[in-house]
């Protein structure tokens, strides 16, 4: 059954029933359409200026070119709808659901998205100027034509950014997403994913340091992440456990490009620490022993990549450094139990691998078994993998990255290393291709593949 242009849908209990109707060009401006059924309706070019569509079900509806300026779409279901070229300036989409929506070229100037769920939404060429976000799932596709001037609020990323030709796309999240928006005139904050460690600002008035230089929050040694912001941009993020630096530490320039990365272990630097010039070239690379007291290497390059400093503790004989060997050392061997030996003795210490003079792998062993942090890098210095081993078993969180810098895998394992809890995998474009979550212990429920939202 179809409706002629300009005719309104018929009323029904709980709202208007317009399921599957052809309502292109209809004028429903200012109408009360609360809890109406617009499923699969064609509203191409329709006028719904100031219409009240509270809790309306518009799943699969086509609003191409429609004018919904100042409309109320609070808690509306817009899943699989088409909003291509539609105007929703000043509209209210509080807690609305937009999943699988084509909103390319749409205008959302001043639109309120507070608490709305945007999953797989195409916003290429859309205008989000002065729109307001708050704790939004924001798994959307943007491009250089997407306008974000004055966009503000908080989101859970990441997003996909497509180039002008639409040929290449990459996942952008966290600090990088904040920088991308800021460079285009907006100012948003990307929130940590639910279930992640607590996060505080270093300028929080309740942050303090005790006499032992432990970081306190509200009088207690803090465990979680600490951020520093400059002009709204995150410029540093450090992980703390019981008030001591413990885990990754990263710094960024104001434009979101990396400035430094390092790892702390109970307040001391361990493993490899790197710094970058503002232009993105590697500036320094230092290697610390696992005791956090000894520097083993110190190298530097100018902005053109030319070496300016190269020092190794072994060259100077300046200190009795903890054991550290090259994996290509001819005295390195493995037994049938995959234990590592050096000169016929079970090895304890660090094992590194070099490529073209740069460290590309660092592992810590104890009595021939991996036990401690594991880090790998691509030859250009970008991260390849990081994790932690406990007597031969992977424990906690481990990650790998594609050569282009996008996250490839994330795995979380129990602290005894015997049971995986979460496994996720993405392709080079940031598309999730695998998601698995272990059942709760003794629940009798089999492990299942799950969606991103279910896993958090």
Tens of pLDDT, residue by residue over 22-72, are 999 999 999 999 999 999 999 999 999 999 999 999 999 999 999 999 999
Query: Residues near 72 by Cβ (< 8 Å), separated by ≥ 6?
Result: 51, 52, 53, 54, 91, 92
Over residues 329-349, the pLDDT tens digits come to 898 998 877 888 988 888 888
Place of tokens 């079970």: 346
In-domain check, residue 399: yes
Over residues 207-241, the pLDDT tens digits come to 998 887 889 998 999 988 899 988 777 889 898 98
Comparison of pLDDT for 456 and 266, the residue scoring more: 266
Bond prior to 158 in cis (omega within 30° of 0): yes
Over residues 162-215, the pLDDT tens digits come to 876 666 778 888 878 888 898 899 989 888 766 566 888 899 899 998 887 889
Could you give the percent of the chain with pLDDT greater than 70?
Answer: 88
Provide the number of structural domains found in the chain: 1
In-domain check, residue 138: no
Dihedral, 199, 231, 236, 157 alpha carbons, nearest 10: 60
Rounded CA-CA distance 400/387 in Å is 9
Burial class (CB in 10 A: 0-12, 13-18, 19+), 451: exposed
In-domain check, residue 125: no
List the one residue out of 92, 88, 184 whose CA is nearest residue 144: 184
Q: Is the pLDDT score of 9 beyond 70?
A: no
From 102-111, 424-433, 442-451, the region with the lowest mean pLDDT:
442-451
Q: Average pLDDT of 100-114? A: 95
Rounded CA-CA distance 69/90 in Å is 6
Query: Residues near 165 by Cβ (< 8 Å), separated by ≥ 6?
Result: none
How many C-beta atoms surround the C-beta of residue 73 within 10 A? 28
Could you give the percent of the chain with pLDDT greater than 90?
Answer: 31
In-domain check, residue 316: yes
Kindly give the residue spans of alpha helices, DSSP state H, lying in 254-323: 313-316
Given this model, what pLDDT does residue 3 score?
43
The parent domain of residue 256 ranges over 199-455
In-domain check, residue 71: no
Q: Is the pLDDT score of 388 beyond 60?
A: yes
Rounded CA-CA distance 376/378 in Å is 7
On whether the CB atoms of residues 54 and 78 are closer than 8 A, the answer is no
Query: Residues near 268 by Cβ (< 8 Å), separated by ≥ 6?
Result: 288, 291, 292, 293
In-domain check, residue 157: no
In-domain check, residue 282: yes
Given this model, what pLDDT does residue 174 score?
80
Token pair of 67 as six digits: 């004018």
Given this model, what pLDDT does residue 354 score?
86
Given this model, what pLDDT does residue 30 score?
93
Which contacts of 228-237 are long-range, i.e. CB under 8 A and separated by 24 or more positions? Answer: 228/201, 228/202, 228/203, 229/201, 229/203, 230/254, 232/178, 232/182, 232/187, 232/189, 233/175, 233/178, 233/179, 233/182, 234/174, 234/175, 234/178, 235/259, 236/202, 237/175
Residue 435: beta bridge partners? 424
Comparison of pLDDT for 85 and 446, the residue scoring more: 85
Rounded CA-CA distance 61/96 in Å is 15
In-domain check, residue 122: no
List the one residue out of 357, 416, 417, 353 whose CA is nearest residue 385: 353
């Amino acid at each position: 059954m179809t409706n002629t242009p300009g005719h309104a849908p018929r009323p029904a209990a709980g709202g208007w029933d317009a399921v599957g109707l052809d309502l292109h060009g209809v004028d429903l401006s200012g109408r009360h359409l609360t809890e109406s059924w617009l499923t699969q309706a064609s509203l191409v070019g329709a006028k719904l200026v100031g219409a009240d569509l509270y809790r309306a079900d518009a799943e699969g509806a086509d609003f191409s070119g429609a004018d919904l300026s100042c409309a109320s779409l609070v808690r509306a279901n817009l899943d699989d709808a088409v909003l291509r070229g539609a105007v929703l300036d000043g509209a209210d989409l509080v807690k609305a659901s937009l999943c699988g929506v084509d909103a390319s070229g749409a205008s959302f100037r001043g639109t309120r998205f507070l608490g709305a769920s945007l999953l797989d939404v195409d916003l290429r060429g859309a205008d989000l100027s002065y729109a307001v976000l708050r704790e939004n799932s924001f798994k959307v596709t943007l491009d250089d034509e997407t306008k974000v001037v004055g966009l503000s609020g908080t989101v859970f990323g990441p997003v996909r950014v497509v180039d002008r030709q639409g040929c290449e796309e990459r996942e952008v999240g966290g600090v990088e997403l904040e920088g991308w928006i800021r460079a285009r005139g907006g100012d948003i904050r990307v929130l940590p994913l639910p279930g992640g460690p607590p996060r505080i600002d270093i300028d929080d008035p309740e942050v303090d340091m005790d006499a032992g230089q432990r970081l306190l929050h509200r009088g207690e040694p803090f465990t979680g992440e600490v951020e520093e912001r400059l002009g709204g941009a995150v410029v540093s993020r450090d992980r703390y456990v019981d008030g001591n630096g413990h885990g990754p530490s990263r710094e960024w320039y104001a434009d979101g490009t990396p400035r430094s990365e390092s790892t702390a272990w109970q307040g001391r630097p361990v493993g490899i620490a790197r710094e970058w010039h503002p232009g993105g070239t590697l500036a320094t690379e230092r290697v610390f022993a696992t005791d956090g007291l000894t520097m083993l290497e110190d190298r530097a390059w100018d902005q053109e990549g030319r070496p300016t400093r190269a020092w190794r503790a072994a060259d100077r004989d300046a200190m009795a450094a903890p054991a550290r060997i090259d994996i290509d050392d001819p005295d390195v061997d493995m037994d049938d139990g995959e234990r590592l030996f050096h000169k016929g003795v079970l090895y304890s210490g660090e094992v590194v691998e070099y490529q073209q003079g740069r460290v590309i792998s660092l592992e810590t062993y104890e009595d021939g078994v991996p036990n401690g942090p594991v880090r790998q890098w691509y030859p250009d210095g970008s991260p390849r993998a990081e994790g932690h081993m406990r007597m031969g078993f992977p424990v906690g969180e481990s990650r790998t990255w594609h050569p282009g810098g996008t996250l490839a895998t994330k795995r979380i394992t129990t602290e005894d290393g015997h049971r995986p809890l979460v496994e996720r995998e993405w392709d080079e474009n940031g598309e999730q291709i695998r998601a698995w979550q272990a059942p709760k212990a003794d629940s009798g429920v089999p492990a299942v593949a799950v969606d991103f939202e279910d896993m958090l």
